[in-house]
Structures are given as structure tokens and as C-alpha cells.
Homo-oligomer: A and B are copies of this chain.
């Protein structure tokens, strides 16, 4: 791995070197390093670019790393990754994408289409960090699409973070839940400059006692624009909650468009959204404690996103 790749991998996965256990490192549209483990098998797709990640039933607390890195301008990367999670398996997937365009004026794009098939009583923790790096004018675009199919009693946790450097992102997440399936999604997003971020969740609760909890926290700085869309449908006895809190700064623009639909008398659905700037009294308090304006702002944002 060259230095750019190493730096990007560190940013996305926190890894300094290749991890133990299962991993697949994708660099500029190619798999450059791969390892399967006893319980987690990674195989190339034969019909298109991407991999199948097959987790054996009853796998206990294993990790798999699948960062995708784009190290220069002028790249359009499209990848299909499918996850087959066996019954009772418990796995943490560290995904994410780093795009570096250096000082290039050519943009680069990464489109990752991930599908998760969670068998009965399996558990996935999915951690995804998106980041862009580069001083050139080349645009960095990351458009992830995640499709989740949850069988009875399965539990999916998604933690997605986009902190900086991504000029445009359209994030689509779709999930269908069967009996007793549970989905928690935590999204953290900061946009700045002229960036655009669109988030689109679509969750159908088809199984009795299924539940979903979507929590989005975002900060829109400078002239950036964010749109949060969520569509939660309860078709049976189920519980859905969605919450979208956004801080706007400078000339940021934020739109929240949730939709909740109860098709069953036993569906309980709640949505909350709040958009506003940092409260003046919070700033005053921190500045009284000796922080300057910028430090106080950073402190508040840090707390808000944590």
C-alpha cells in the first residue's frame, strides 16, 4: 500500500495495518488485499464488480473490514457487495469509503451498493465512515445504497458518519423487517462549503413486534445543503421512531421530510424533527468558562454529534 492508501485506510477504519481476521481492501475499483477467516468467507462476484461476504451460522463476535479507497481524481468506482449473515451469527462490519482527489481538477466517485440478508436471530453492527481528501477542484462524490432484509428476530445496527470532504452524497437505505426484527440507524453528518447531502430512509415493518429507530444528527455549515427524507411504514403491530436534529450555521439550508404511515391499528409511529442554530445561552456559558467563540462552537457540535 502506498502512503495515500494507508492514510485513507486509517481515516476510514482507524487501522494502521492490515487487520487480523477477514478483510477486503478495495483500491481504485480493484480488490488489492483480501483474507477470509474460518467463519467469514469473502469471494469475488463473477457477474459484476464486488464481493459476497458469507458469515457462517453461530459465528460469535467477529469483525470484517471492507474499506473502499479511491486514491486519485478521474475515477468512477461502482461496487456491489452482498452480505449473507447466517442464523445466530454476530458480526461487526467496518465499511466506509475514502476518496482522495489530491490536487486534481478531475473529480472521483464511489457508488457502493450493499445488500444485507440477515437470517433468523443474527446480529450485524455496521460501521461506515465516509471521508473526502484533496486540495484540487475535483469533486468527491460518494453515493451509498444499502438494502437490508431482516428475518425473524434479527438485529441490525448501522452507524454512519460523514464528517468532511465529500462534495455530494445521496444516501439511500431501504429495509424490510420480519417478526421481532429490530433496526437502529444512527447517522452523523457535517457538511460545509457548497456541499450537498441527501439522506433517504425507507423502512417497512411487516413482521409483528418489529421495530425501527432512526436517529439523524447533522450540522450544515457555510453554504451547504442537506435534505433528510424518511419513510416509515407500519403494516402490523410494530414500533417506529424517527428523529432528525439539525444545527444550521452560516448560510446552511436544511430540509426534513419524514413520512410515517400506519396501515395497522397496532402500529405505533413517532417522528420528531428540529432544525435551528446553536442556542445563544449555550455559547455564553462556554465562553464564560474561558473558551473563545470558535472553541465553544466546536465543543457544542462535538456534544451534539456524540
A259 and B262 contact, Cβ closer than 8 Å, known pairs A273-B271, A275-B267, A275-B268: no
Question: How distant is the Cα of A251 from the Cα of B265 in the complex, in angstroms?
Answer: 6
Residues of B within 8 A of A248 (CB): 262, 264-265, 267
- Determine if A252 is an interface residue (Cβ-Cβ < 8 Å): yes
Oligomer copy total: 2
A254 touches B265 (CB 8 A): no
Residues of B within 8 A of A269 (CB): 256, 273-276
- Determine if A260 is an interface residue (Cβ-Cβ < 8 Å): yes
Residues of B within 8 A of A74 (CB): none
Question: How distant is the Cα of A246 from the Cα of B268 in the complex, in angstroms?
Answer: 10
Question: How distant is the Cα of A276 from the Cα of B270 in the complex, in angstroms?
Answer: 8
Question: How distant is the Cα of A270 from the Cα of B254 in the complex, in angstroms?
Answer: 12
- Determine if A293 is an interface residue (Cβ-Cβ < 8 Å): no
**13 new A-B pairs (CB below 8 Å) besides A260-B275, A268-B274, A271-B273?**
A250-B265, A255-B260, A255-B262, A256-B258, A256-B261, A257-B259, A258-B258, A267-B276, A268-B276, A268-B277, A269-B273, A270-B275, A271-B271
